[in-house]
């Protein structure tokens, strides 16, 4: 049983007052069980305190902040259909490719700090079992491979660890990144972790089909872990085969890179290769299994540590609590080094808001400061998800990164028709625990599990745990309000206006991405005739009756009034809004089109989508069809609703 931390408040949905659309949170049935903590304290979301720990963000393509910035910047060059086609022709991995880095695969600077610093499994076999008192098991990739083929690759990810893009040309590259041939310097292992799945403690989970090759330290002393997903069985595979299919691998590869280019913290993807073998999968768990092409993604991140990496050891009794501390020390040393250098002169002390006026001093306990930063990074990431209409689909605690990265792309989806109850996961349909509107609440619930783990290991006390969750709430509120203000081009946050907008969008099932993109075309002119107010939004306000037209006209009138009062020119506001409202997102039907072609051996559309998603905020003349509303076939089972089977 995992460690628990109880609170006095009876309402879990404390974030709900800050969310513009009132969608009922569906508490999981386990809330009545001893396996789950109760809700955070009632004072959690008092007004933001005067000072909080600043978070250092994961690098993104849109600036240093994990939320999309509204600041103007030099526009990126537009990409036309012709240029994309030419790029695809040029991207043949020929010998004339321009080198952007210096290192060959044999010259990478491997390090294995995780293996050195933490206890490992004394066994090296892959027999499914409980791995006790260990953070990892050394295993080798074992997926069967026959004439593997490189489907797609990312030059920008290669550049993270100084890899020469010419290395993608190597005839043995598909063998190396399918695990069929060993990489010089790698020391493969699978990580041990546990987690709550759909609110229920699941015990040991672990890397059941992902094998980390090791860490590469680049010329900037940055640490990057390389991991092969779908590369074979590990001790954590349970009854599974440890493999992955091309369908899910394409989705993971593309979405990892698309999210990065949207400016959202995420794991990355270096390469996608086919194995040349088939894998049997029952996509909907309905007894209709079929064979699908196998594939392997090389995922890249500074660390793949999750909340569940700590939970599993705290759940196993006193003798493993020191492992929780060792893992925390490791993470702080290698991924939060600024916390090690904090001192009393920074005066990071805060009132908890309790009646006894007690204080949390983050400089006196590095673990408390670390927990607060993890809570804030998580809140910032989820606010960014809400901004682009992204729904993760499986926000289990084993899928929550301690670095605040989007991790584990199983069932996911971007909103098409705005529906707060949208979930891309068929397994989640009965209760919609992980639907779009519930993501902020679930983030808080997961932080509660993480702080409970650290409290059990005596790394933080109850007030420090409460404060971390308070910071989660304040950070989410601050970032969400700022993000929505930028999306609408408003001079300041207007809760009533935004609430009314999202309620209108929910009633009429308005396309989330296209609506906000078109909204920048509305002019700040109160004199516009009433019958012309909706013209800029005509393409997304489809088939609405007179009553709904009047509701929208009323809202646009209020919106125009706010814009007119700001004093910002229409041109400046449009440029700012277009820089935070993407033209292109990775809609499920676009993925499916690429998957259908790839399963027939044609990888052109996968590569085209990768190129398109590199500049999601640009118009990209000739590519407009990729921003269209989903066609009717996109709503068939298997396209927009996916299970966890991959």
Q: Is 181 exposed, middle or buried (0-12, 13-18, 19+ CB in 10 A)?
A: middle
Say if residues 103 and 164 touch (Cβ distance below 8 Å).
yes
Nearest CA-CA partner of 245 in 397, 143, 111: 143
d(CA 252, CA 410): 7
d(CA 19, CA 376): 17
Residue 147, sorted as left (phi over 0), alpha (psi -120 to 50) or beta, turns out to be left
Structure token digits, residue 34: 């001893």
For residue 561, report the phi and psi dihedrals to the nearest 5 degrees: -60, -45
For residue 211, what are the β-bridge partners? 228
Residue 111, sorted as left (phi over 0), alpha (psi -120 to 50) or beta, turns out to be beta
- Return the axis-axis angle of helices 307-314 and 439-456, rounded to nearest 10°: 40
Q: Is-catalytic flag, 162?
A: no
d(CA 425, CA 422): 9
Q: Would you list the DSSP string of 168-215?
A: GG-TTHHHHTTTSSPPTT---BEE--EEEETTEEEEE---SSEEEEEE
d(CA 584, CA 614): 10
Structure token digits, residue 503: 């309620």
Alpha-carbon distances, residue 594 vs 228, 269, 300 (angstroms): 22, 17, 23
Structure token digits, residue 547: 């009553």
Find the radius of gyration of the CA atoms of the chain: 24
Exactly one of 121, 162, 164, 398 is catalytic; name it: 398
Nearest CA-CA partner of 263 in 483, 580, 586, 481: 580
d(CA 167, CA 78): 28
Q: Which residues are catalytic?
A: 398
């Amino acid at each position: 049983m995992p460690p628990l931390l109880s609170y006095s408040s009876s309402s879990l949905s404390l974030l709900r007052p800050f969310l513009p659309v009132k969608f009922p949170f569906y508490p999981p049935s386990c809330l009545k069980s001893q396996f789950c903590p109760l809700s955070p304290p009632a004072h959690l979301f008092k007004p933001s305190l005067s000072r909080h720990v600043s978070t250092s963000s994961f690098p993104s393509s849109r600036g240093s902040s994990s939320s999309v910035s509204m600041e103007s910047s030099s526009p990126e060059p537009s990409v036309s259909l012709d240029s994309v086609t030419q790029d695809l022709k040029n991207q043949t991995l020929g010998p004339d490719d321009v080198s952007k880095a210096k290192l060959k695969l044999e010259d990478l600077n491997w390090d294995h700090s995780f293996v050195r610093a933490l206890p490992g499994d004394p066994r090296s076999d892959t027999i499914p079992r409980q791995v006790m008192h260990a953070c990892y098991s050394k295993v080798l990739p074992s997926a069967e491979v026959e004439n593997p083929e490189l489907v797609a690759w990312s030059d920008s990810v290669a550049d993270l660890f100084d890899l020469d893009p010419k290395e993608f040309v190597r005839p043995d590259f598909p063998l190396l990144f399918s695990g069929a041939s060993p990489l010089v310097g790698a020391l493969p292992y699978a990580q041990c972790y546990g987690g709550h799945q759909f609110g229920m403690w699941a015990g040991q989970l672990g890397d059941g089909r992902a094998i980390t090759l090791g860490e590469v330290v680049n010329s900037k002393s940055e640490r990057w872990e390389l991991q092969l997903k779908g590369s074979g069985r590990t001790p954590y595979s349970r009854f599974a085969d440890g493999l992955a299919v091309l369908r899910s691998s394409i989705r993971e590869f593309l979405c990892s890179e698309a999210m990065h280019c949207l400016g959202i913290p995420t794991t990355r993807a270096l390469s996608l290769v086919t194995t040349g073998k088939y894998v049997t999968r029952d996509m909907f768990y309905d007894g209709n299994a079929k064979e699908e092409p196998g594939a392997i993604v090389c995922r890249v991140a500074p660390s793949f540590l999750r909340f569940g990496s700590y939970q599993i050891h705290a759940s196993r009794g006193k003798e493993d609590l020191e492992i929780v501390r060792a893992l925390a020390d490791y993470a702080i040393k290698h991924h939060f080094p600024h916390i090690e250098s904090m001192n009393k002169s920074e005066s990071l002390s805060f009132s908890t808001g309790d009646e006894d006026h007690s204080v949390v001093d983050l400089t006196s306990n590095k673990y408390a400061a670390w927990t607060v930063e993890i809570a804030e990074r998580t809140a910032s990431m989820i606010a960014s998800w809400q901004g682009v209409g992204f729904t993760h689909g499986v926000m289990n605690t084993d899928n929550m990164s301690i670095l605040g990265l989007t991790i584990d792309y199983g069932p996911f989806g971007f909103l098409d028709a705005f529906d707060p109850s949208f979930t891309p996961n068929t397994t989640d349909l009965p209760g919609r625990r992980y639907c779009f509107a519930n993501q902020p609440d679930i983030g808080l619930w997961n932080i509660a599990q993480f702080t409970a783990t650290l409290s059990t290991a005596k790394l933080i006390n109850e007030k420090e745990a409460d404060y971390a969750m308070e910071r989660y709430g304040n950070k989410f509120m601050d970032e969400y309000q700022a993000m929505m203000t930028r999306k609408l081009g408003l001079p300041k946050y207007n809760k009533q206006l935004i609430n009314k907008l999202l309620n209108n969008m929910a009633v009429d099932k308005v396309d989330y991405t296209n609506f906000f993109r078109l909204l920048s075309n509305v002019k700040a002119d109160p004199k516009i005739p009433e019958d012309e107010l909706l013209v800029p939004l005509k393409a997304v306000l489809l088939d609405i009756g007179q009553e709904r037209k009047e509701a929208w006209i009323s809202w646009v009138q209020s919106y125009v009034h706010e814009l007119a009062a700001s004093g910002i020119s229409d041109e400046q506001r449009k440029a700012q809004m277009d820089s935070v409202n993407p033209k292109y997102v990775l809609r499920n039907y676009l993925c499916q089109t690429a998957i259908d072609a790839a399963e027939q051996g044609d990888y052109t559309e996968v590569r085209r989508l990768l190129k398109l998603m590199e500049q999601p905020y640009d118009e990209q003349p000739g590519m407009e069809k990729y921003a269209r509303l989903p066609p009717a076939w996109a709503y068939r089972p298997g396209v927009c609703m996916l299970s966890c089977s991959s």
